[in-house]
Amino acid sequence: MSAANFCASIHNMDKPVNFIAWGRTGADSGRSWLRHLVATSPLILAPLAIIINFITLSSFEGSYASFAAAAVREGFWTLCVKYGPELTFKGVFAVTAFIAWQAWLFAYLPGEIRTGQFTPAGHRLQYCLNGLSAWALTHVAYFTLCLTGVLDPAFIPRNWSSLIAALNLAGLVISVVVFIKAHVCPTHADDRKFSGFAFYDFYMGIELNPRLGGNFDLKLFSNGRPGMILWTLM
């Protein structure tokens, strides 16, 4: 790339894009049902993979061969019910409290305000860069609760079964909320993309940047806060 072309590309980054350049290419006119079902397979396969890994590690000493043999002998769904993650009130409460805490930090923790690139429809969104502060404050709070005896330091591994179930439920609930929101109260209606197939849209997403109240970016929050901060807590 020449110096002139490079400068031109940098200059054009500040200009709105006048065409839809993300997601599907347009209305669903030439896609088959098979392609849609293949595209939405992660909705089923991802939770199943987590359940299989959990059962194999917790009940079969990490042996997939032993799990497969038991599945053939007893039935796959029987194993899932018998050994799979168990949804409990403690797990739901812990995950709800953690997500609520992260949402509060996301919305109210001070941080530098930066502006993102133009969306395909020409909107430019602002973001508060407080992720590192939220990470640090979360870990300080966690260690403080452990040191004062309020929280068991081994709470996560000791409640792993219920936490896995609650986290998967939370992911489903958030996805349903975003899917419904895109239809009834989109942040920017002109930034939506529809394929004509509900399950495909549910997986791919309809809004590019779904937001609550104008500033609470659900995409950024879901990708960058509860999950990534929980990694280091685990």
pLDDT in tens, 77-114: 999 999 999 999 999 999 999 999 999 999 999 999 99
Q: Taking all residues of the chain, what is their mean pLDDT, rounded to a whole number?
A: 85
Does residue 41 lie in a domain region? yes
Does residue 23 lie in a domain region? no
Does residue 157 lie in a domain region? yes
Q: What per-residue confidence (pLDDT) applies to 11?
A: 44
Q: Is the pLDDT of residue 52 over 70?
A: yes
Helix (H, G, I), strand (E, B) or coil at 32: coil
Does residue 5 lie in a domain region? no
Q: Do 204 and 148 share a domain, yes or no? A: yes
Q: What per-residue confidence (pLDDT) applies to 118?
A: 86
Residues in the chain: 234
What's the rounded Cα separation, in Å, for the pair 175 and 82? 27
Q: Do 64 and 163 share a domain, yes or no? A: no
Q: Do 71 and 97 share a domain, yes or no? A: no
**Structural domain harbouring 111:** 86-234
Query: If pLDDT is split at 50, 70 and 90, which confidence band does 30 have?
Result: low
Q: What per-residue confidence (pLDDT) applies to 28?
A: 47
Q: What per-residue confidence (pLDDT) applies to 43?
A: 80
How many domains does the chain fold into?
2
- 143-166: average pLDDT: 94
Q: Do 92 and 64 share a domain, yes or no? A: no
138-149 per-position pLDDT tens digit = 999 999 999 999
Does residue 65 lie in a domain region? yes
Lowest mean pLDDT among 1-5, 211-215, 229-233: 1-5
Q: Do 41 and 118 share a domain, yes or no? A: no
Does residue 191 lie in a domain region? yes
Does residue 24 lie in a domain region? no
Q: Do 139 and 178 share a domain, yes or no? A: yes
Q: Do 90 and 80 share a domain, yes or no? A: no
User: Which residue carries 């987590």 as its tokens?
Assistant: 50
Q: Do 46 and 159 share a domain, yes or no? A: no
Query: If pLDDT is split at 50, 70 and 90, which confidence band does 197 have?
Result: confident
What does the buried/exposed string (b/e) look like for 102-131 if buried means 16 or more CB atoms within 10 Å of the residue's CB? bbebbeeeeeeeeeeebbbbeeebebbebb
Q: Do 96 and 149 share a domain, yes or no? A: yes
Number of Cβ within 10 Å of residue 56's Cβ equals 20
Q: Is the pLDDT of residue 27 over 50?
A: no
Lowest mean pLDDT among 101-105, 193-197, 204-208: 193-197
Residue 51 neighbours by CB under 8 Å, 6+ apart: 80, 84, 85
Does residue 18 lie in a domain region? no
User: Which residue carries 């996560």 as its tokens?
Assistant: 156
Q: Do 74 and 179 share a domain, yes or no? A: no
Q: Do 74 and 105 share a domain, yes or no? A: no
Query: If pLDDT is split at 50, 70 and 90, which confidence band does 194 have?
Result: confident
Q: Do 49 and 141 share a domain, yes or no? A: no
pTM, two decimals, is 0.80
Dihedral in degrees, nearest 10, Cα atoms 157, 159, 165, 170: -90
Q: Is the pLDDT of residue 31 over 50?
A: yes
- 175-200: average pLDDT: 88
Q: What per-residue confidence (pLDDT) applies to 17?
A: 45
